[in-house]
Amino acid sequence: MNALKRFILIGMLVGVVGYVAHHAFFSERGFVQQAIVSGRIAQAEAELAAVRAERARLEDRVARLSPNSGELDLDYVEERAREVLNFAHPHEIIVRLDPQPVAY
């Protein structure tokens, strides 16, 4: 009878340890889920850094175009006007070049 009790006790302990180990690895807050969440966080932080860099670049461009910012860059305003509005000075000669075909 003593061996049967020991066998049952060991079986129950193995079951409890197995249950706890399974939930430690595969539950909603387990190690596997934690690794997945860490990967998502790293990806989101990289995306956030890229968005912040783009925002800083755009804020710089706006500041260079805004007369109220104190950083008005007249050369940049002229460059944008030429590019976007196709403006040119009256004495300039415009030479249009066809873009070279891309070789694949």
The least confident of 5-9, 32-36, 85-89 is 85-89
Residue 71: how many CB atoms within 10 A of its CB? 13
Cα end-to-end distance, the chain, whole Å: 83
Q: pLDDT of 32-82, one tens digit each?
A: 888 999 999 999 999 999 999 999 999 988 888 888 777 778 888 888 888
Q: pLDDT at position 45, please?
A: 97
